[in-house]
Amino acid sequence: MYLLENILIILPVVLSFVILVVPSRGRYYAALLISLGIVLVTSVPAVNVIFGRETAPVILPFITGLGSVTLTIDGLSAFFILVTNFTALTGLLYSHGYLNPYLGLKSPSRFSLHYFSYLWLHLSMLGVLMLRDGIPFLIAWELMAVSSFMLILFEAEKRATLKTAVNYLIQMHIGLVLLVIGFLLCEADTGRMSFDALKIYFSHHPNTGLFLLFFAGFAIKAGFIPFHTWLPEAHPAAPSHVSGVMSGVMIKMGIYGIVRVLTYVQADLVTIGLIILTVSAISGILGVTMAIVQHDLKKLLAYHSIENIGIIGMGIGLGAMGLGIHNPLLVLLGFGGGLLHVLNHSLFKSLLFFSAGSVYQSCHTKNIEELGGVIHKMPVTAGLFLTGSVAICGLPPLNGFISEVLIYLGLFSGLSGGSVYQSLYMLLGIISLALIGGLAIFCFTKAFGVVFLGTPRSETHIATSEASREMLFPQFLAGGMILLIGLFPLLFLQPLSHLISVQFQIGIDPEWQSITESLSMIGRIGCLLIGMVALLAFIRYRILKTRIIRQGPTWGCGYTAGNARQQYTGSSFADALAGLADPVLHTQKEEVPFSEEEIFPGERNFSTTPADVFRKGLNRLVDFLMLILKKMARLQTGNIQHYILYAFIFMILIFFLLYLKIV
């Protein structure tokens, strides 16, 4: 039996190399086949675990250099495995149509490498989720960074892409270093380097310090502010299916890591929860605020990932606080909302990135200011993007609302029954979440309205045709899931709550029953709403059939020579908020004011450039480091005698330090 399992696991890894030699025509299908294999092999045990049929850890004995490697699937990894598999598969399905136009433009080896990296990104993410020992985990973590780096580099001939990708790789390694330090601290104390050994470490050491180290390491991957600066650069640079997978699931590996470490933390959980809650609320509000002012559609979506990571983090912080104050209901609501939002975000964010990719393919620009009226040529893509938008704003009857309402419930139920400070913190959480919701609506009415509605703003970037069926199919899959979760939340929430109660060893709170009732009610009202819309639309249709319907131009308030350039643009839409949020946005405006003498003003240019204060801060830090390093460069004289002198000085230093028993 073990042999069979081992073969099943090793097979996709071996087969992924076959991609490199498959002829170009069959490459996608080979990748799809292997990917399906991976999905099948990992999903079956994951589903088994989630529905309570415990799977024994799979032991891979053949990697002798590191001893045997254990692949373990528990509830938490099983949940993330299913999330990863779904989005990785839809991403691959989407990629075929999306990459078609590039077929003649890029070398076949580039495609081989792309699909190979894609499979390895998928494999390494699954590895991250199943490996518990320090070294194998870190290897998988590193493979994930490298394979996604390769994926971003698909359009490597663009200089900006190259720069972004390198920036990404460097930041991922800073995260890796933090994780390595974390594991080393654990090993120095317990003699073992694994997640399970953390439990021993945490049982007799202060918890906050090491947890924060891991948190920082994972937060760089997840994109919490202020660790997010790679994210809004890397996602737009990658091809859309890769952005979808990176934003939909790869950054969630950071969330997985945080939750995984949290399961071992023994004390200080209230403090830790508060820290996570605060960082998350800030990430949520600032992420969406910065999203609003973006001109690049994919960059806007990337900033929204930060916002959603914030919402997920709020749930997790709440859950951690619940663990700290021994309130099982809060644990279930917090982690339940957070983890469900992981699933939800992976669905609507990949959907949004895919449909944004279709717009890019059709209009050849991601610049919101140049788009417009796309809905007339791409009605289905517009509908899908709208579905994603409504879901990401957390509006009923779609899935985003379900996870947000769970977090709201957690915050509201935490209001009373604790201390004054707890009440105040919960209220701040509620305010943040309400503000995030409002800002998200502001942002997506802008994104959807400016890109899809109105008339095209530029003559060169007019949508030509609807995306191919091949590209629409995976989007319908994601859209269907979004609706399913929104209308029947309990299908997903019941297994999830079971999983959380097992993972954190808490009983199901009696009040949980009323929560599930409320959620099924929300689902029912969602159905009612859809029914109501259908009914009213039907009545409207019947009545309008009997009426005189005329077509005409948009009412220009008496002005009849309106043109597309006079429409409200994305910048003008965002300007009202940009004014309010200038301290964090630092939007740079370039304009020449009209002088009084100008009676007939000539042509004017106006441009706004959104900036990211954290990016600026990071740049300043890097500049400072570069300054020091430049000064250090004087040591590098190129003279061999000097280098021997350095070595000599070093040896003497070591000798003295040893003599003085410092090292």
Partner 1 sequence: MIALLLAIVTAFFFPGIIVRVKSIVSGRKGPGILQPWKNIFLLLRKGSVFSTTTSYIFRIAPVIYLATLICAIMLLPLPGITSGFGFAADFVLLAYLLALGKFFFIIGALDTGSSFEGMGANREALYSMLAEPAFFILFGTLALLTGHLSMQSIFEQFHLSGYTSMISGMIAVYVLIQIAMIENSRMPVDDPKTHLELTMIHEVMILDNSGFDLALIQIGTNLKFALYGILIANILIPVAWAIHYRIALFFGIQAAFAMSIGIMESFRARKKLVKNPQFIVTLSSIALLGFILSLLIMYQLIL
- Out of 130, 439, 471, 487, the only residue in the binding site for partner 1 (CB under 8 A) is 439
Q: Minimal distance in Å, beta carbon 447 to partner 1? A: 10
Partners of 58 in the beta sheet?
Answer: 71
Examine residue 89 and tell whether it contacts partner 1 (CB under 8 A).
Answer: no
- Alpha-carbon distance 307 to 246, whole Å? 15
Q: Which of 144, 159, 127 lies closest to 58, judged by CA?
A: 127
Examine residue 633 and tell whether it contacts partner 1 (CB under 8 A).
Answer: no
Burial of 222 (0-12, 13-18, 19+ CB in 10 A): buried
Nearer to partner 1, 45 or 394 (CB): 394
Nearer to partner 1, 560 or 641 (CB): 560
Residue 121 CB partners (closer than 8 Å, separation 6+): 88, 144, 147, 148, 151, 245, 250
Nearer to partner 1, 241 or 446 (CB): 446
Nearer to partner 1, 188 or 536 (CB): 536
Q: Which residue has the tokens 């106006």?
A: 606
- Cα torsion 39, 40, 44, 47: sign: positive
- Alpha-carbon distance 22 to 619, whole Å? 43
* Binding residues for partner 1 restricted to 534-573, rule: CB under 8 A: 536-537, 540, 543-544, 547-557, 562, 564, 566-568, 572-573
Q: Which of 248, 253, 227 lies closest to 174, judged by CA?
A: 227
- Alpha-carbon distance 297 to 446, whole Å? 11
Examine residue 351 and tell whether it contacts partner 1 (CB under 8 A).
Answer: no
- Alpha-carbon distance 441 to 329, whole Å? 30
* Binding residues for partner 1 restricted to 90-109, rule: CB under 8 A: none
Q: Which of 371, 319, 356, 367 lies closest to 341, judged by CA?
A: 319
Which among 51-59, 105-113, 352-360, 398-406 is the span making contact with partner 1, rule CB under 8 A?
398-406
Nearer to partner 1, 104 or 552 (CB): 552
- Out of 202, 335, 442, 492, the only residue in the binding site for partner 1 (CB under 8 A) is 442
CA distances to 274, 347, 418, 603 from 342, rounded to whole Å, are 20, 9, 28, 48
- Do you know the residue count of the chain? 663
Q: Which of 150, 271, 171 lies closest to 222, judged by CA?
A: 171
Burial of 28 (0-12, 13-18, 19+ CB in 10 A): buried
Examine residue 515 and tell whether it contacts partner 1 (CB under 8 A).
Answer: yes
Examine residue 510 and tell whether it contacts partner 1 (CB under 8 A).
Answer: no
Nearer to partner 1, 172 or 440 (CB): 440
Nearer to partner 1, 478 or 581 (CB): 581
Q: Which residue has the tokens 């180290």?
A: 213
Examine residue 303 and tell whether it contacts partner 1 (CB under 8 A).
Answer: no
In the chain, the amino acid numbered 202 is F
Which among 8-16, 207-215, 429-437, 470-478 is the span making contact with partner 1, rule CB under 8 A?
429-437
- Alpha-carbon distance 26 to 36, whole Å? 15
- Out of 423, 458, 468, 587, the only residue in the binding site for partner 1 (CB under 8 A) is 423
In the chain, the amino acid numbered 186 is C
Examine residue 528 and tell whether it contacts partner 1 (CB under 8 A).
Answer: yes
Q: Which residue has the tokens 């990104």?
A: 121
Which among 43-51, 101-109, 465-473, 519-527 is the span making contact with partner 1, rule CB under 8 A?
519-527
- Out of 14, 56, 576, 621, the only residue in the binding site for partner 1 (CB under 8 A) is 576
- Out of 4, 53, 159, 416, the only residue in the binding site for partner 1 (CB under 8 A) is 416
| Three-point CA angle 42, 46, 47, nearest 5° | 120
Partners of 606 in the beta sheet?
Answer: 591
Q: How many CB atoms lie within 10 A of CB 119?
A: 24
Examine residue 412 and tell whether it contacts partner 1 (CB under 8 A).
Answer: yes
Examine residue 270 and tell whether it contacts partner 1 (CB under 8 A).
Answer: no
Examine residue 472 and tell whether it contacts partner 1 (CB under 8 A).
Answer: no
Nearer to partner 1, 215 or 444 (CB): 444
Examine residue 448 and tell whether it contacts partner 1 (CB under 8 A).
Answer: yes
Which among 78-86, 109-117, 261-269, 374-382 is the span making contact with partner 1, rule CB under 8 A?
374-382
Instruction: Give the distance from CA 332 to its chain's centroid.
Output: 23
- Out of 125, 463, 522, 585, the only residue in the binding site for partner 1 (CB under 8 A) is 522
Which among 46-54, 62-70, 532-540, 591-599 is the span making contact with partner 1, rule CB under 8 A?
532-540
Structure tokens at 122: 């998928």
Q: Is 552 left (phi over 0), alpha (psi -120 to 50) or beta?
A: beta
Q: Minimal distance in Å, beta carbon 460 to partner 1? A: 18
Q: Minimal distance in Å, beta carbon 535 to partner 1? A: 8
Examine residue 514 and tell whether it contacts partner 1 (CB under 8 A).
Answer: yes
Q: Minimal distance in Å, beta carbon 115 to partner 1? A: 37
- H helices of 231-268, in order, are 231-237, 240-245, 252-262
Which among 169-177, 277-285, 424-432, 593-601 is the span making contact with partner 1, rule CB under 8 A?
424-432
Residue 118 CB partners (closer than 8 Å, separation 6+): 31, 91, 92, 95, 147, 151, 242, 245
Q: Minimal distance in Å, beta carbon 631 to partner 1? A: 48
- Out of 49, 297, 450, 585, the only residue in the binding site for partner 1 (CB under 8 A) is 450
Q: Minimal distance in Å, beta carbon 133 to partner 1? A: 42
Which among 210-218, 279-287, 445-453, 607-615 is the span making contact with partner 1, rule CB under 8 A?
445-453
* Binding residues for partner 1 restricted to 375-394, rule: CB under 8 A: 375-376, 379, 382, 386, 390, 393-394
Which among 26-34, 109-117, 145-153, 530-538 is the span making contact with partner 1, rule CB under 8 A?
530-538
Nearer to partner 1, 24 or 513 (CB): 513
Nearer to partner 1, 162 or 435 (CB): 435
Examine residue 465 and tell whether it contacts partner 1 (CB under 8 A).
Answer: no
Which among 30-38, 178-186, 253-261, 399-407 is the span making contact with partner 1, rule CB under 8 A?
399-407
Residue 246 is given by DSSP the state: I
Q: Are strands 69-71 and 58-60 parallel, antiparallel or unpaired?
A: antiparallel
For 69-73, which contacts have Cβ atoms below 8 Å and span 24 or more sequence positions?
69/131, 69/133, 69/136, 70/131, 70/132, 70/133, 71/9, 71/130, 71/131, 72/130, 72/131, 72/132, 73/45, 73/46, 73/49, 73/129, 73/130
User: Applying CB under 8 A, what is the total number of residues that bind partner 1?
Assistant: 84
Which among 131-139, 195-203, 432-440, 644-652 is the span making contact with partner 1, rule CB under 8 A?
432-440
Examine residue 587 and tell whether it contacts partner 1 (CB under 8 A).
Answer: no
